[in-house]
Structure formats: C-alpha cells, structure tokens
Structure 1
C-alpha cells in the first residue's frame, strides 16, 4: 500500500465564504474533529493544512502554536501547508498595503517555524495570492504585474530566512494570476528559487475555460461537457506548462461553473467528491499534476490536500462528507502514490 503522498484535509473551508454575510463560521475544533474521525477501510487522514485566519487562529498570540500542536498530536495528525492571511494588504497596492502583505507572510513563516520546532510540521509550503481583483489588475496589467512580482520577491526573501517556499495559488479571482499564462508570467518575473505554483483541480480547471481571461481559453466556449477527450487534452495543455512550477496540490472536483459566497469573489466551484455533475475524473486527472509528460511520478511534494470551500454548513457538518472525501483521496494515492 502506498504511504506517500500523505493525505491531508483543509480546515479553511470552515471559514472561506462564511461570516456575517453568509453562514456562520465552522469552528476550527469542529473541522479538526471531523478530519480525525474520517476513516475508510482502516485508512485515515495523515494531517491537515491550515488557513491562518481569524477566528480560527490569532497569530499575535504567543501560545497559539503550542495549543495547536497539542491538539493535532492528540489526534495523530500532522500539519502541512499554511495559507498566509495576506488580504489585509495587497501585492499591487500602496506601499503600506504591500508592506502589510509581506508582514503577514513573515508572521505565517514564524508560526510555521514554531510548528516545526514543536514536531508537528515536517513538510508543506506557505500559500499566497495577489490579494487583488482581476478588475483592478486590468487597469494597468503591465504595471500591476510588476508590482505583484516585486512584492512576491520581498515575500520570498522573508520566507527564505525560515526555509519556506511560497506557493502562488492558481485561482481565477486573483489579479495577475487569473489565467495559466498570466500565472507563468508573474512567476517568471518574481525570479526567486523558493516560489512555485499551487494547483487546485477545481480552480485550475477553470483556466481551460478562459473565465476572466477569455484570450487564454483552451476549451471552446461551447464545448461539450460530456466530451472527456477534449477535457483531457485541455488539462494536458495547461499542466504541461504549470506542472514544473507546482509545489503544492489540492485534490478537488468541479462542474465547469463558477461560484462565490459571503465576501469571496466567484471562482471555480468546488463540488462534492461524489457529485454526479463533476466533469473531472478525480483519480485519473490528478495524474496530470502528479506525473510528468512521460507518465513518471514527479514526487514534487510529500502531501496532497483536499480543498472544498463554500459548501453549505449542513453538508460540511456531516461526517459522511469527509469519509467520501477521504475515499477520493485514497484513490488518488493508489493511482499516483509511492511507498517509503
């Protein structure tokens, strides 16, 4: 049985798209308990990835990391990648906004270092995005991309002091990162060895459809959603370009539509693992990211994570939801994993 990559669940779906203008936030402890309780044929999640956002976390509390380490250790879980709460700033904003962005990356790296010292984090990256809308970016594409790259460089230099890599999230709602080609342009302009790409099977699938960047669509506008061969060819096109940059990976499902809730902009809709309308063959299509063009395993990261944001709380609070997710993750590891 393959034991790599390790299988992680994300805790930020309890926060993203929730809040006063949507449904209540699901507490961190609830997300942790449902993750720890999930089990399929004796296999359980190996760990969790964290969104370092309030009210789940307070990065200014010096005891926060120790409390978290105790909680995950008690449940035989590890911690992997961390999402830096950079949205109080912006990578293409004012000097103050950009400084805030870099400061939040620094706080996240400090927190990650504490978790390493406490023995509960052995792999993973710090995730970032531009914290800027596509419409704002489009007011000055060249100038704003240069600003984003400059901010990312400063953040990379901070992260390097802690031995961290930064992963830029491929999601259609972030300016300068909203298509596969703009994403590559931004990463190449950053020109730092410790930056890479975070692929999400749902979000990056929307790259093929040209949402927010029709000039870079791969699938035709009226493509047949039942045509799996066209979908596979489109996925191969974008993954051949993005895979060499990919240092963090989210398993997910998508039905070819966009969705937003709460204050979150519309982005690639996360569907449930068992959704009959999902256009992706999760286990097969994960291979476009986990194997190179010759079909060989890249082993580019030691864990993979399920991401399923903006589901109704009634869905997320059912234990069966997380068992179904774990079952999908196990199939990915059976198809594209390895043993150590």
Structure 2
C-alpha cells in the first residue's frame, strides 16, 4: 500500500502522506518504540508523512458499554495516542488527529439512549484528557452504524455533552455524512424529503443544514464518494458504502460538495484542515492493487485542494 501510494502520480503531483489504521495486519496497536521508529523510517523513505491515526476501539471495547468495555475503549485510545505522539516526535507526523467512534451498536444504544449517550460522552472526555495531556486531538467519525453518532442531531448532542471542543471534535467523511441527510439509521432526523431524487435545490438545502450544525466541530476530513446505498457485514451494523472516485453511480460531486465542509456558510475557506484524506477501504484487493485506482483517487483529491485549499 505504501508503494501504491508513493507511485501515484497525476501530472507530477503526488500524495503527501498517509493516515494509519492502528490494527493488524497494518500497524499493531502494541508496537514497540523501536517498531515505531522503523515504521517512521519506512514511511519517510517513501517520501511520505503520517496524518491521522485510527484507534482500534472495537472488539472488546465500547464507549457506551459496561465498565470493562469502557475501560478497554479508553485503553485502546491511550495506546493510539502514544503512537501518534511518538510519530510526531520523530518528525514524520506534522498534522492529524486520532480517530475514534463510540464502538456501540445502534441496537444497544436504543435500549437506553440518554444513559448510553451519557456513558459515551464520559468515555470521550476521559480519552480527551489523555489526548490533551499529550498534545493530541480526537475526532469522532460520524458513521450511521455507531450508537449515539448515528444521526447528525445525535452526533451534535454527543459532542456538546462531551464539552471539549478544543480537543474532541468531528471527523467528517463525505460518504458517511451524506447518509445523515437521508436519515438512513434515524428516520426522525432525515433532512431531505421522502420523495427525494437528488434534486439540486433539495441537496443544497440538506447539505447546508447538515454542515451548519457539524462544521464548527469538524477537525478532520475524509474525501469520499457514495451512491446513497448502505451495507452491513457481520456485527457491523448498516453503514455507508464507499465508492470509487470514478464510480458513475456516485451521488456526490466530490470537488464541489467537499466545499460544504471546507468552506463556511459564507463560502470562505475555513483553513481548519491542514490535510485531507481519502477514505475508501471497501474495495476488493483486485481493485486496490491497480495503480490506476490510486491515481484516480489522487486526481479527485487534487481537485478538492484546487477548489478549497489554502496556503499559510
């Protein structure tokens, strides 16, 4: 994957770096200091840097679970913060956040919405204090499969309850947040009308309302494409389906619609994001091993930067 990233080229423009998933077989969450040094050297040798890192907060953990699950959740975030900080100290990570989510299913959350949200906020605050002490920030990725985060209103409520705006914020993924407008896992919070067929005026109205609520909390951004469908796998509840950058079924105009997040309500670039990342992990190995896949993604990201980037 590092080779495919490093080899991607569009008119002489290349990727600046990568975000890291801190879980085997990618990067072990319990990696040693020497292992982190070796990883940093390997990434640097490819001419790349590291941006955000993903804390593996699932499996034996849940921010809204029982005492043991919550403790495990905080432990996984603490370990991710350690790696992120070390990479920063090694000079290979100039920006980025630690990505989190509630790791609590919507079905479980539904049994006690207020109580579970309170526990999730408590876990977020505990991890937030660790992040703050280590010079890091946490960003909750808004996916419709995570309880307490499965609608735009629930997400805003959770962030407000956590009440650490300078440390714990929102990671906006273009695919997942698109599903927020459709009320995919929370019909009561649907923004678009029921007979919606992606009419430009309705789409604009929905995205404007969505981003007005969540943009102030947004500290990390995923460029992505989505066709309006959802999928679920195993214990992973219904969530947004990522599409290839060139997918003809994609409902988003990536270069244009990223502006809803990267510009304020008056159209001015917010300058809050120092890097943007492509999130599109739901592809087959066959597709991911094609260099053209990576070049197409890079081309889409260049368009986003051209339209909404900044220098300073």
Matched, 1:123 2:95: yes
CA contact (8 A) 2:74 2:127 kept: yes
From 220, 232, 235, the equivalent of 2:207 is: 235
- Which of 313, 319, 325 aligns to 2:297? It is 325
CA–CA separation in structure 2 for the residues paired with 1:209 and 1:59: 35
Q: Tell me which residue corresponds to 2:74.
A: 102
Whole-Å separation in 1 of the counterparts to 2:145 and 2:96? 24
1:260 and 1:310 in contact (8 A); partners too: no
Shift of 1:268: 1.0
Instruction: Find the aligned partners of 2:202 and 2:30 in 1 and give their Cα distance.
Output: 49
2:48 corresponds to which of 77, 84, 97: 77
User: Which runs of 5 or more structure 2 residues have no equivalent in the other structure?
Assistant: none
Corresponding residue number in structure 1 for 2:132: 160
Aligned residue number for residue 334 of structure 1: 306
Shift of the alpha carbon at 1:262?
A: 5.9
Offset, 1:230: 1.5
Contact 1:57 1:64 in 2 (8 A): no
Q: Deviations over 1:259-316 (max 9, x none)?
A: 2346533311111101111111100000000000011110111000000021122111
Q: Which position in structure 1 is the counterpart of 2:227?
A: 255
Alignment match, 2:29: 59
3-state SS of the aligned residue for 2:258?
helix
The alignment's C-alpha RMSD in Å is: 1.1
2:178 counterpart residue number: 205
The list of structure 1 runs, each at least 4 consecutive aligned residues, that deviate by more than 4 angstroms after superposition, is none
Work out the number of aligned pairs and report it. Answer: 309
Gaps of 5+ in 1: 1-30
1:135 matched to which residue of 2? 107
How far residue 117 of structure 1 moved from its aligned partner, in angstroms, is: 1.4
Partner Cα distance (1:214, 1:261) in 2: 21
Aligned mates of 1:320, 1:297 — CA distance in 2? 30
Distance (whole Å) between structure 2 residues aligned to residue 50 and residue 262 of structure 1: 24
Q: Which has the higher contact order (CA 8 A, sep 6+)?
A: 1
Shift of 1:166: 0.5
- Are 1:172 and 2:149 counterparts? no
**Rounded Cα–Cα distance in structure 1 between residues aligned with 2:234 and 2:107:** 19
In the TM superposition, what is the alpha-carbon distance from 1:54 to its structure 2 partner? Answer: 1.2
User: Is structure 2 residue 281 aligned with structure 1 residue 309?
Assistant: yes
- Describe the superposition over 1:3-36 as per-residue Cα deviations: whole angstroms up to 9, x where unpaired: xxxxxxxxxxxxxxxxxxxxxxxxxxxx111111
The 10-residue stretch of structure 1 (51-60 or 244-253) with the greater mean CA deviation from structure 2: 51-60
Whole-angstrom distance in 1 between the partners of 2:45 and 2:245 = 28
Indicate the residue corresponding to 1:45 in structure 2: 15
Deviation per residue, 1:76-128 (Å, 9 max, x gap): 10100011111131101111111111111111111111111111001100010
DSSP 3-state at the match of 1:222 = coil
For 2:161 and 2:104, the matched residues in 1 are separated by 17
Q: Distance in 2 between matches of 1:247 and 1:73?
A: 25
SS at match of 2:228: coil
1:280 counterpart = 2:252:
yes
Q: Contact 2:20/2:27 (CA < 8 Å) preserved in 1?
A: no
Deviation at 1:43, TM superposition (A): 0.2
Question: Normalising by structure 1, what TM-score?
Answer: 0.89
Between the aligned partners of 1:201 and 1:222, the Cα distance in structure 2 is 22
Helix, strand or coil at the partner of 2:44: helix
Q: Distance in 2 between matches of 1:58 and 1:172?
A: 27
1:68 and 2:39 aligned: yes
| Alignment pair present for 1:32 and 2:2 | yes
Check 1:264–1:314 CA distance in 2 against 1; reply closer, same or farther (3 A cut). farther
What secondary structure is seen at the aligned counterpart in 2 of 1:273?
A: coil
